[in-house]
C-alpha cells in the first residue's frame, strides 16, 4: 500500500533541520590517485567492533571506486575549512591540488588541519535507495582540539568562531545577489543544493564583508542596494541581502543561472529561495521592493512607499 508521494524539496528541507557535521570522505582510486567528496551523512555505528558509516550518491562518478577500494577515510572538517568543503562538493579536476594530505595508517588520504579523522577498511557496501552506504572498520583515528564545522538548514555553522568574533548581539549574515543579463550567481552549498554567495559579518563591518564576499567570486561588481532584511529568531541571525549588478564574466566559483522560479529551485534555504522567487517576479515587471520581517513573514516596501 502506497500513500501520497512525498515532495522531495520539502523532504530535503526537513532533513536540513537536523544539525550535522561536515566531512570529506577520501580513498585511493584504482590508479592510486586520491578521491574525495563532501558528506554530512556520517555516523558512528559500533565501538566493538569499531565501525562507522557514510553514504555516497549512486549518481557519483566515484561510487564504483569507493565500493572497490580496500578502505576509506572520514575527515571531519574544522570550522575554518569551509573552502575545503566547497572544493570537494563541486566538480573539480583535481580536488586535492589545494589541500595538504598524507596517507593514514590504513592507507587512505588524510587532510591536514581537520578536527578529527578516521582511517578505515571497507567492511561492507549496502545499497540503499539512491545512495550506497559504506560501512568502515576503524583502523586508526585522531581527534584534535579544533572545533568542527557544522551544517544546519542550508548554512554552515561555526559556533566557536562566531562566539569569538561576536560576543554580544545578533549574528549578522549577508548575501550578495550578483545579477548579469537576467541571471544570478549561485554556488554549491556542499549538500547537493545551491545558495547565494553568503558570509557572516565579523568585526570588519557589513560594507567590508560585502566587498570581500564579492571579490571572492572573482567578478567585477559594485556593492549594491539592500533587497531584503529579515531575522531568524530561532537561530539569532539577522540576514541582509544586497542586489549587486555584476559584469558578465567567469566566476571563480559557482555559475550563473536564469533568474526564474525554475532557475532557483535548487536553492536549499527556504527563506532565500522565496526571496529569489520574488525577485524573479519583480524583475519581469520592473517593480522592486525591500522586504522587512522575519524568515517566515513580513512586508515588502515598494520604492517611494512610506
Instruction: Return the HEC string of the chain.
Output: CCCCCCCHHHHHHHHCCCCEECEEEEEECCCCCEEEEEECCEEEEECCCCEEEEEEECCCCCHHHHHHCCEEEEEECECCCHHHHHHHHCCCCCCCCCCCEEECCCCCEEECCCCEEEEEEEEEEEEECCEEEEEEEEEEEEECCCCECEEECCEEECHHHHHHHCCCCCEEEEEEEEEECCEEEEEECCCCCEECCEEECCCCCHHHHHHHHHHHHCCCECCCEEEEEEEECCCCEEEEEEEEEECCCCCCCCEEEECCCCCCCCECCHHHHHHHHHHHHHHHHCCCEEEEEECCCEEEEECCCC
pLDDT of 137 reads 95
Q: Give the pLDDT mean for 164-176.
A: 67
Grid coordinates given for 175? 548575501
Does residue 162 have a pLDDT over 80? no
Question: From CA 257, how far away is CA 80, in angstroms rounded?
Answer: 28
Q: Please state, rounded to an integer, the average pLDDT across all residues of the chain.
A: 85
Q: What is the mean pLDDT of residues 26-48?
A: 92
Q: How confident is the model at residue 120 (pLDDT cuts 50, 70, 90)?
A: very high
What pTM does this model have? 0.54
Q: How far is CA 66 from CA 60, 106, 133, 230, in A?
A: 10, 15, 11, 42
Residues 201-213 have pLDDT tens digits of: 887 788 888 889 9
Confidence band of 248 (pLDDT split at 50, 70, 90):
confident
Q: Which residue has the higher pLDDT, 44 or 13?
A: 44
Give the pLDDT confidence score for residue 166 in this predicted structure: 40
Per-residue model confidence (pLDDT) at position 104? 95
β-pairing verdict for 71-76 and 23-28: antiparallel
Contact 227, 251 (CB under 8 A): no
Q: How confident is the model at residue 167 (pLDDT cuts 50, 70, 90)?
A: very low
Amino acid at each position: 500500500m502506497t500513500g501520497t508521494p512525498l515532495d522531495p524539496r520539502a523532504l530535503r528541507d526537513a532533513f536540513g533541520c537536523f544539525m550535522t557535521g561536515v566531512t570529506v570522505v577520501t580513498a585511493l582510486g584504482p590508479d592510486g590517485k586520491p578521491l574525495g567528496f563532501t558528506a554530512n551523512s556520517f555516523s558512528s555505528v559500533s565501538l566493538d567492533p569499531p565501525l562507522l558509516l557514510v553514504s555516497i550518491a549512486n549518481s557519483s562518478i566515484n561510487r564504483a571506486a569507493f565500493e572497490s577500494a580496500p578502505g576509506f577515510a572520514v575527515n571531519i572538517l574544522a570550522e575554518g575549512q569551509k573552502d575545503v568543503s566547497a572544493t570537494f562538493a563541486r566538480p573539480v579536476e583535481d580536488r586535492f591540488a589545494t589541500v595538504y594530505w598524507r596517507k593514514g595508517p590504513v592507507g587512505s588520504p588524510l587532510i591536514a588541519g581537520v578536527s578529527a579523522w578516521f582511517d578505515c577498511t571497507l567492511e561492507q557496501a549496502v545499497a540503499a535507495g539512491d545512495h550506497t552506504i559504506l560501512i568502515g572498520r576503524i583502523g586508526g583515528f585522531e581527534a584534535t582540539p579544533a572545533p568542527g564545522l557544522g551544517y544546519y538548514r542550508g548554512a554552515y555553522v561555526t559556533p566557536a568562531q562566531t562566539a569569538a568574533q561576536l560576543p554580544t548581539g545578533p549574528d549578522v549574515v549577508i548575501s550578495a545577489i550578483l545579477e548579469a543579463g537576467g541571471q544570478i550567481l549561485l554556488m554549491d552549498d556542499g549538500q547537493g543544493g545551491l545558495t547565494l554567495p553568503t558570509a557572516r559579518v565579523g568585526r570588519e563591518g557589513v560594507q567590508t564583508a560585502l566587498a570581500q564576499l564579492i571579490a571572492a567570486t572573482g567578478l567585477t561588481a559594485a556593492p549594491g542596494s539592500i533587497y531584503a532584511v529579515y531575522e531568524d529568531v530561532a537561530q539569532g541571525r539577522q540576514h541582509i541581502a544586497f542586489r549587486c549588478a555584476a559584469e558578465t564574466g567567469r566566476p571563480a566559483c559557482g555559475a550563473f543561472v536564469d533568474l526564474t522560479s525554475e532557475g532557483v529551485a535548487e536553492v536549499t534555504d527556504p527563506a532565500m529561495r522565496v526571496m529569489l522567487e520574488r525577485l524573479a517576479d519583480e524583475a519581469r515587471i520592473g517593480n522592486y521592493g525591500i522586504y522587512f520581517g522575519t524568515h517566515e513573514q513580513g512586508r515588502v516596501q515598494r520604492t517611494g512607499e512610506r
